[in-house]
Every structure is written in C-alpha cells, then in structure tokens.
Structure 1
Amino acid sequence: MKTTEEEFAVYHNFPIKALSNKVFKAISNPDDLEHWWPLKCSGSAKLGEEYNLFFGEPYNWYGKVVTCKENSSFHIKMTKSDDDWNTTTFGFDLFEKEDGVTWVHFFHKGWKKQNDHFKHSSFCWAMLLNGLKNYVEKGIIIPFEERN
C-alpha cells in the first residue's frame, strides 16, 4: 500500500493599487521587507540566493530563492528555521491589471501538520500581507513590535 504524506498550505489573494514593479520591490528588497515583515533582512532577488530573515533571537531564519521572475514571481524555500517552517516554501505571484492594480497571489505551502503554529502563521500572514498592502499603497510602516 502506497502512503502519501498530506501537506497543508495557506493561500491569500488580494489587490494592491500599484504597478507590479513597486509590489515586487516590496516583497523582494530587504530594506522594503523590513518595513512590513522581519526585523532585519538581507539577500538578493536572484535565483539560488539566500535570504536571512531575522525576527529577534532565537528566530534567525534562512531561505533560498527558488523562483525569481522580475515583477512577476518571487518564491523562497526555507532552509533554516523552526521544525514547522523548515519544510515550507512561501511565495508571491503578481498579476498586473490595466487599471494600475496588481493582484497578489500568495502561498505558504509544504506544512506537514495543521497544528497551532500553522493556524497562527495563517493568521499572521493575513495581518502581515495587509501591512504589505498599506506599505505599498500608503507608505505606512508598522513598527516591528506591533506586527503580530
């Protein structure tokens, strides 16, 4: 009997009133990422490059860029994080519409369990992605301590 391991994923689709190049910069440029997600970040938006996502000790995490299509797609596979996130990949696919709106299709897949951490991360992503939207559209930066 063949057994398959079930995986779980978080998905969020939402519009941002901006062109895709501005959204892509906000999701891939470390300085911009620090305005809506990690406390500190380093990395380069190039296939195979490593990103350091630092959220304060002991959350000093790393991921590898597995998809990078300028102004279109940006995906990172976690390589060093906690046990739940280490199996996962998160990413953004951007679809620019004629009216200057970019639709963001976000995913975070590869979760092995639908545990409390998965459920909390799903909620946090919704809040953080709203912060991304407000950052790109209005320039609002929520202090790191207030992001969760």
Structure 2
Amino acid sequence: MPNIIHRIGINCPPGKVFELLTTNEGLSKWWTTDTSGAGDVGSVIEFRFEGMGPDFEVIELQTDALVRWKHAGEMPGAWMGTEVSFQLSREGNQTWVLFLHSGWKEQSEFMGHCSTKWAVFLLSLKDAIETGKGKPFPNDIHIDHDES
C-alpha cells in the first residue's frame, strides 16, 4: 500500500507540537479553523472544510512523542481505512515531525493532491509555532484554482 510521508523541523520543544496536534484550539491554528472533538484516545475529531470533511478517531497518544489517528468517516472516500501519524523527536534546538498518511489502497492523482496539501498544512503547523500565525483553512495556500 502506498503512503504519504513528510518530515519537517520545528524550532520548539516537542510538547508545543504535541499540543497543536491534540487540542481543538491547537489543530484550528494550522489545519482548519472548524475543528471539534479532539481529546483522549477514542475521541473522534471532526475537521470541517466548508461544512464537509474528514473525521479521525484518536487511536494512540504518547505524550510529546506520537499522535495517531484512524480515518473514521466517509469523506473523502479514498481515505477510508487510512491512518495519520505524527512522530515527534527532539534533536538540537528543533523537534522533527515525521508525518505519515498510510494505508492508501492505490496511488492516484488525488493522493498526489493530498500529499501536497499535507505539506502545505505541515508548513502551516511550523508557522503557527515559530511565528504565532499559521495558515489554516480557509486561509491556507491554495494549490489549484478550484479550491475555495
């Protein structure tokens, strides 16, 4: 099965990244401003983009080290059965975020689109922490002319 993988260094301790991956307030600073449901393992986070969007169940949390979600909704269909993980490690003055969106059934143009958008949002996470201003949807960088 193909996977999307990205790695980014953020100038902060792992706890700050973990906070922005595990709370509604944190997630809304970098992915979409319409986020609800974040919490402990078993919580279902609803991410909304103009009223629609994916839901993810929190399946694993290791404080300041790992966040794992399993796709729990029907939107988008190609994400059915996929998982998202953020592995955090400290090196020098930065925290490395190893991002993985795994379990795709096949490579596709949509997968390529999602990979680029994940990169956009990971840079938004970096900016939210390092500058205090991320670019969550609807203020994200648009990669095509059909996006709102």
Q: TM-score with structure 2 length normalisation?
A: 0.88
Q: Does 1:22 align with 2:21?
A: no
Please name the residue that 2:39 is paired with. Answer: 45
Distance (whole Å) between structure 2 residues aligned to residue 141 and residue 96 of structure 1: 21
Q: TM-score with structure 1 length normalisation?
A: 0.88
The alpha-carbon deviation at position 143 of structure 1 amounts to 5.5
Residue correspondences, number:
140
Describe how 1:120-135 pairs up with structure 2 within 5 A: 120-135=113-128
The alpha-carbon deviation at position 24 of structure 1 amounts to 0.5
Where structure 1 has 5 or more consecutive residues not aligned to the other structure, the ranges are 1-6
Q: Which moved more, 1:10-19 or 1:38-47?
A: 38-47
- Structure 1 residues 46, 12: CA separation in 2 closer, same or farther (over 3 Å shift)? same
Instruction: List 4+ stretches of structure 1 deviating above 6 A.
Output: none
Distance (whole Å) between structure 1 residues aligned to residue 136 and residue 46 of structure 2: 19
Residue aligned with 1:63, SS:
strand
In terms of Rg, which structure is larger? 1
The alpha-carbon deviation at position 34 of structure 1 amounts to 1.0
CA RMSD in angstroms comes to 1.4
- Kept after mapping to 2: 8 A contact 1:28/1:44: yes
Structure with a larger share of its residues in strand: 1
Kindly, what percent of the aligned residue pairs are identical? 27
Where structure 2 has 5 or more consecutive residues not aligned to the other structure, the ranges are 143-148
